[in-house]
Structure 1
Amino acid sequence: EYIGQTPACPNCKSVNIFTNYFCSKCKNNTFSKKEFITHIPCGKININKIAHPDEKLVCHHCMVYYDNRPSECSHISGFQCTKCDNTFTHPSISYSCNNCNVDKFFVNNVIWVDLFRYKLELENLNKIKKSIFFFMDLEQILKDLGYTIKQYDKFMNQDKSYGPFELIAYKDVEVILFITLSDDLHYNLSRIFEMDFKSNITNKKIKSFAIAFFEPQDIIFRILKKFDIIPLVKADGKDLVKEIRNYI
């Protein structure tokens, strides 16, 4: 189901971006909420509601008194900068990417990407739940063995990144990488090829695993062997965890 569009980073196309709000005059990013009165004849905003003794309001731009009624003025909500006292109805906006760290780009720089809502079939939902609980158990075991764990992260080495991978375990020069396989051949091949970098890494001892909760295609087993990736195939996540213990 199509939902709409959302801004994405112009560098890496990630939608994991942070929105920065700031004053257009001094670039300060702290401001307070204010209620303003707009004098309709001149269109200017008055911050202070200074009233005449007969309850009329004063316009500091026209220097006239006027009645507090819809034909003379309108009440609006806005903001006032805490540094320079600039007033505005909407703060200026820029974005920063949390994925590649590109900083302070604007709405006219972003890439607009389509958003869709998907409904998971019960069978696929159960697979996801099984995978989540499996990695929770695996993470705890590896932590007990002294590893530092990163889930759904990229492997970084000498300013180069690879992945992301479902789980990465670090200890001294040891690195253990985990990917999960599905019943989609093209997906499995793309995940395996993402691990085709180990021969270029000489300062780390890397061990990699491919997790499957069902029997993958024969060609997948052959490619895993070629890439020196250990296949772990079990229907039950607890059995997988037990088998992994034999390798670490």
Structure 2
Amino acid sequence: MSYSDEYTEQILKTVNKASFLLSELHRSGPSFGDTIQSIISASRLEEHAEVSRFAEFVYSIVEALNSGGLDPNNEDVKSVISSALAEIIDIIKNNRHAADPKIEARMKVILRSAKSDERDYVFNKILKVLYVDEDRFAQSNIQKNIDKSIQIESCFSGEAALQRLKTNKFDAILCDLKLTNPDISKIFAEYSAKIPLIAISTSDDPRLVQLATKTGALDFITKNDTGVRRLPKSLHTVTTEWVKRNKLSNISQLLENPNSQKILKYFVESDLPIKQKIDCEVMYDWKSNDAIKDMNAVLESLVKAGYIIKEPTELILSCPKCNSRNIRLHYLCQNCNNSDFNKGDVLEHNKCGYSGLEDKFKDGDALVCPKCRKQLKLIGVDYFKVESAYTCAKCSHFFTTPELRYSCNACGHDNFRISDGKWTELFTYRINPDKITKIKQTIVSLSPIKNFLEEKGFLIESNVNPNLKYTTATKFDLVARNQDQTILLIILGSDIEENFSKIVDLDTVSKTMPGRISKYAVIFSEPREVTRSLLKRFGIVPILVENVNNILEKFKEKYTENVKLELL
């Protein structure tokens, strides 16, 4: 059987992606495994058993790497995987139907050298799983053989499972794939978007696997010994990836929030921190005309997501009763708690012991004791002087520091000392330098470029796939069309794998479109060598934008250069 054009194109693209990820294997293990799995799935659907079987050896090596059974820095492991990927390309291009047995033998040697502990996956959590299956033998078999890290709750009908899902919380659902049963279909339809769901079946038909994934299953388990052994790892992997995916989704929503974008744009453009300050209540020295509603909540969300850094600045006193910072300070006489006193320098006559404010001793140009009427001439001999003291108007008591008492404007709690109050910490917020590229990617506005191209007669679209005949995961950030030219623009961040997918999709789509195609990529820092090489290889013009406010200027430079080159 020959390989179809569609299958060939898909496999070659996927193998190229896998070869790219191989260079970052220590960080891209799970993504690399998913890429190999897509080769296996496509080969099964096209019934190319030899390619599927050969790729399964590669996938087994990847699983051993992910579980710690093999060292991802081992050059022999990388070498055999690289050889296997090259062999898959050679099989497809030369229409072969048998793999090189020497490479297969090398992969078997690598797998035998892996740690033999079958339970090589680290489980950090005990999962509560609802297992829906009317097959009582399968239920019993899984209950007997399942790992201790999985708590199975059995359900023998879809109707009972739907009731239990309404009242109980589960980490995952394991469900027999009988979609002809309306209750089972309802579980897949209603809960696959809410809880990680794994399909289980007695059949391993690839078309059934494809059906399961289309209905929302994240994995497919066969009811045999291998499937039961793989089940704990599958459940833990699926739930872990589910949590990660939801976290990324939450972060994406946070970054798309207009208030988040205002704050992040302020950080990038001003290069200033935001400090909390007190004006009865906690305020922010927000040097911008854009008002932010519930600024504290937005800042804390960005801190939690790792985009800004929160640092303690100072402590302030709060009401011990209601925690309000809206408190008033009272200055009192230390003797009678009266708040009526005068400030001045205090003199004390050594001979008679009288003391009072200096003004009371003044008699013309001389100093005369008001009590005994003796003239004071020499300081330290006739009298002593205490600078900046206070005299109570009520009891005439002298003191150098007033008694401090507080009252709360919010709840009315009165006359409490500093030792009675509660302390509240104020913070300064700064941008996380490790996230600056991602932040620029999020906040950058392409409106100036859109306006520039519209003035030149282009029709503009944003976040679209420009070719309905070729579907990609990438939505291009800007597509501009006129009668004979299409401009495609993407924004690249710091994620190597995401950049690779965007670049490859951009090149693939551009080849299927009519007319003259110009390709641009906006980057915010000097790209890594691998990204630079890919951009050059696919003829994509890089636009380095270190200051987001200069994006139009930088685009005009590259656009003008590109137009001149195209005219030559």
TM-score by length of 1: 0.49
Which protein, 1 or 2, shows the higher relative CO under an 8 Å CA cutoff with sep ≥ 6? Answer: 1
TM normalised by structure 2 equals: 0.23
Q: Flag the structure with higher helix content.
A: 2
Rg bigger for which structure?
A: 2
